[in-house]
């Protein structure tokens, strides 16, 4: 991975006031720290940073930060953290970690899925409990992602951490047997399969004749029971209303009889 060059300015003012002033001027406040050298408060032109991110396409990119006002000092670094506004999502602050290009470092990279699993076409669902893995490599070898090839994954298939594709010189850190993703059947499909199996077991064999005196079981019509219940309820309501009308009519006749 080649370093992305980025020109930054050293900030004279620090704290909330200095950070606010930098944002007002179109800069992103940031800091470079790590290693034996002291931390440096810097400011990056927002337009320049956004362009650099578009070119690199990856926040794990290696940066070569040229600090203006510090005798042209260049700092190799990677992004450690980005603070964003909770509503506008605008970048409020960036933490850069100073690194040694000759020393390996450990960091997390995203898992990228490649291919279309046959298990999906067969009705399965892809589950991915792990979306990032930790790797150990030189700063110049940082991969954009760890690749999970699912082009041959059937229902019940699993991609483990050891199956991920990583570039040469990049080592996986952690449990190599961790399940990264899998193709599973949904609960609905399991219930349908179980119901089909139960129906097949209960159905008489083809050509079988019912025993003498045994009435053949009639297939239940879906919704027939509910329709019968609604019909009976409606009939009861009509009967009740007619009885109520009759009672009211008789009561009025009695009241209308001359005394």
Angle at the Cα of 201 from the Cα atoms of 197 and 205, rounded to 5 degrees: 130
Task: Supply the pLDDT for residue 60.
Answer: 73
Across 14-28, 120-134, 188-202, the highest mean pLDDT is recorded for 120-134
Whether 106-187 and 4-99 are alike in CATH topology: the answer is no
| Residues 162-185 pLDDT 10s | 999 999 999 999 999 999 999 998
Mean pLDDT over each residue of the chain, to the nearest integer: 82
Query: Which CATH class name applies to 4-99?
Result: mainly beta
| Fold entry, domain 106-187 | RNA Polymerase Alpha Subunit; Chain A, domain 2 (2.170.120)
List of E strands, 60-137: 62-68, 73-84, 91-98, 105-114, 125-127, 132-137
Distance CA 157, CA 153 (A): 5
Dihedral angle over CA of 167, 173, 175, 177, nearest 10: 10
Q: Which residues contact 122 (CB under 8 A, 6 or more apart)?
A: 154, 155
Tell me the three state secondary structure of residue 247. helix
- CA separation (Å) from 101 to 89, 114, 142, 146? 32, 30, 11, 21
185-242 pLDDT, tens digit per residue, is 875 555 555 566 666 666 655 555 555 555 555 554 555 666 777 777 777 777 777 7
Q: Where are the domains of the chain?
A: 4-99, 106-187
Tell me which long-range contacts 220-229 makes (C-beta under 8 A, separation of at least 24). Answer: none
């Amino acid at each position: 991975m080649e370093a992305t060059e980025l020109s930054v300015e050293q900030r004279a003012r620090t704290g909330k006031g200095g950070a606010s002033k930098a944002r007002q001027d179109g800069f992103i406040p940031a800091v470079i720290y790590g290693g034996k050298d002291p931390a440096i408060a810097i400011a990056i032109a927002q337009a320049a940073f956004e362009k650099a991110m578009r070119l690199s396409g990856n926040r794990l990119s290696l940066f070569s930060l040229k600090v203006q006002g510090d005798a042209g000092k260049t700092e190799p670094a990677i992004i450690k953290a980005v603070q964003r506004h909770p509503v506008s999502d605008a970048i409020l602050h960036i933490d850069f970690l100073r690194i040694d290009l000759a020393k390996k470092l450990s960091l997390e990279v995203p898992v990228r899925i490649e291919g279309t699993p046959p298990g999906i076409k067969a009705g399965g669902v892809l589950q991915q409990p792990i979306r990032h893995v930790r790797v150990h490599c030189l700063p110049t070898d940082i991969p954009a992602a760890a690749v999970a090839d699912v082009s041959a994954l059937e229902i019940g298939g699993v991609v483990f951490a050891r199956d991920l594709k990583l570039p040469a010189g990049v080592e996986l850190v952690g449990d190599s047997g961790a399940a990264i993703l899998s193709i599973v059947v949904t609960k609905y499909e399991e219930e349908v399969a179980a119901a089909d199996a139960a129906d097949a077991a209960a159905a008489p064999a083809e050509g079988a004749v019912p025993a003498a005196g045994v009435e053949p079981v009639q297939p239940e019509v879906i919704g027939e029971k509910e329709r019968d219940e609604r019909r009976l309820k409606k009939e009861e309501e009509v009967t009740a209303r007619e009885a109520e009308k009759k009672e009211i009519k008789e009561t009025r006749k009695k009241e209308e009889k001359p005394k």
